[in-house]
């Protein structure tokens, strides 16, 4: 056991000595073609310049430009320009592999170009769909095949505030009233979508049917699947809920203003 340890220690010492010897400045200068005993800055600069000029080939130029594009990808913060720069870098490296006769390098980077192109196309489609959802009025017709029909009569309560929320509704016919804010929901309106985003999935209001009508329902589990499968719907859903919250805030602000203005009007009417 001690003999094996001694042999291992000897081998490691020899390896370290060899590595140190190869890293000596004098040996590096000799490998560069310089005299260690007569070295000047001009001689060192001229020798490095000669090495650079000797290696300037068309293949190496393509490799240099490809390396610049790959470094650029490390500095980019968004995916679209990163994919474009990566495609450019792969194209230059593939050309380098072809000109230098390196088949492995050529095939590797050649295959990476269409992969990045497909990902870039998917990203651009996602951006375009998100922009359309933000600027336009997205139809909910495509959602109806995933929903279940349900009918309500006047006086029926769909849900009340604080109940556990498990599904979202789309009004088709009839009229429905949100009691807390006294707002009627006409056909074509979503309701119950805020419960999908609230903690513990609780209802934020009470909805009753004030005129016989029909609705379509979809469970939150199914809605969650569609949310991740269709980025356009997911983005639209976020915009829809944000608008609904902003409407509620605006309605609350108006109510506060009217409440504050009420006593002033009453006081003014008492003046003879």
Range from 5-14, 54-63, 161-170 carrying the lowest mean pLDDT: 5-14
What does 131-177 look like in DSSP terms, one character per residue? HHHHHS----GGGGGGSEEEEE-TT-EEE-TTSBP-EEEEEEEEEEE
Report the share of the chain in percent with pLDDT over 70.
Answer: 75
Query: Do 191 and 150 share a structural domain?
Result: yes
Q: Where among 87, 106, 135 does a domain terminate? A: 135
Query: Is 270 part of any domain?
Result: no
Could you tell me the residue range of the domain that residue 25 belongs to? 2-48
Pick from 73, 165, 181: which is nearest to 119 by CA?
Answer: 73
Query: Do 157 and 119 share a structural domain?
Result: no
Cβ–Cβ under 8 Å, residues 227 and 233: yes
Predicted confidence (pLDDT) per residue in 15-24, tens digit: 666 655 555 6
Query: Do 166 and 125 share a structural domain?
Result: no
- The answer to whether residue 217 scores a pLDDT higher than 90 is yes
Query: Do 76 and 29 share a structural domain?
Result: no
Q: Give the pLDDT confidence score for residue 144 in this predicted structure.
A: 81
Q: What tokens does 132 get?
A: 């359309």
Confidence of residue 250 (pLDDT cuts 50, 70, 90): confident
Taking CA 175 as the corner, what is the angle to CA 162 and CA 184, rounded to the nearest 5 degrees? 60
End-to-end CA distance of the chain: 115
Q: What tokens does 60 get?
A: 């190496």
Helix (H) or strand (E) holding 173: strand 167-178
Q: Give the pLDDT confidence score for residue 272 in this predicted structure.
A: 41
Q: Where among 96, 115, 135 does a domain terminate? A: 135
Query: Do 36 and 14 share a structural domain?
Result: yes
Predicted confidence (pLDDT) per residue in 97-145, tens digit: 999 889 999 999 999 999 999 988 887 776 676 566 555 555 566 678 8
Q: Give the pLDDT confidence score for residue 86 in this predicted structure.
A: 92
Question: Global pTM?
Answer: 0.46
The mean pLDDT of 72-84, rounded to a whole number, is: 85
Range from 69-73, 123-127, 232-236, 265-269 carrying the lowest mean pLDDT: 265-269
Predicted confidence (pLDDT) per residue in 23-51, tens digit: 566 666 666 666 666 666 776 677 677 77
Query: Do 196 and 114 share a structural domain?
Result: no
The mean pLDDT of 211-238, rounded to a whole number, is: 81
The mean pLDDT of 255-271, rounded to a whole number, is: 61
- The answer to whether residue 3 scores a pLDDT higher than 50 is no
């Amino acid at each position: 056991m001690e003999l094996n340890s001694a042999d291992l220690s000897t081998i490691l010492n020899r390896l370290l000595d060899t590595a140190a010897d190869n890293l000596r400045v004098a040996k590096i200068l000799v490998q560069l073609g310089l005299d260690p005993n007569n070295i000047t800055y001009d001689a060192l600069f001229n020798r490095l310049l000669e090495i650079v000029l000797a290696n300037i080939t068309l293949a190496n130029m393509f490799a240099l430009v490809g390396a610049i594009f790959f470094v650029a990808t490390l500095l980019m913060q968004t995916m679209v320009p990163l994919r474009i720069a990566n495609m450019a870098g792969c194209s230059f490296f593939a050309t380098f592999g072809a000109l230098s006769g390196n088949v492995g390098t050529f095939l590797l980077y050649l295959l990476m170009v269409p992969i990045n192109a497909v990902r870039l196309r998917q990203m651009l489609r996602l951006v375009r769909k998100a922009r359309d959802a933000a600027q336009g009025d997205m139809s909910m017709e495509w959602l109806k095949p995933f929903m279940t029909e349900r009918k309500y009569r006047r006086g029926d309560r769909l849900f009340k505030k604080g109940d556990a929320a498990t599904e979202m509704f789309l009004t088709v016919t009839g009229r429905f009233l949100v009691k807390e804010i006294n707002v009627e929901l006409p056909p074509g309106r979503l309701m119950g979508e805020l419960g999908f985003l609230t903690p513990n999935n609780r209802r934020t209001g009470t909805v009753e049917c004030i005129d016989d009508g029909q609705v379509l329902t979809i469970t939150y589990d199914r809605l969650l699947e569609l949310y991740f499968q269709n980025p356009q719907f997911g983005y639209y859903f976020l915009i829809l809920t944000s608008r609904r919250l902003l409407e509620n805030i605006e309605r609350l602000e108006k109510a506060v203003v009217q409440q504050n203005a009420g006593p002033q009007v009453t006081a003014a009417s008492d003046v003879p």
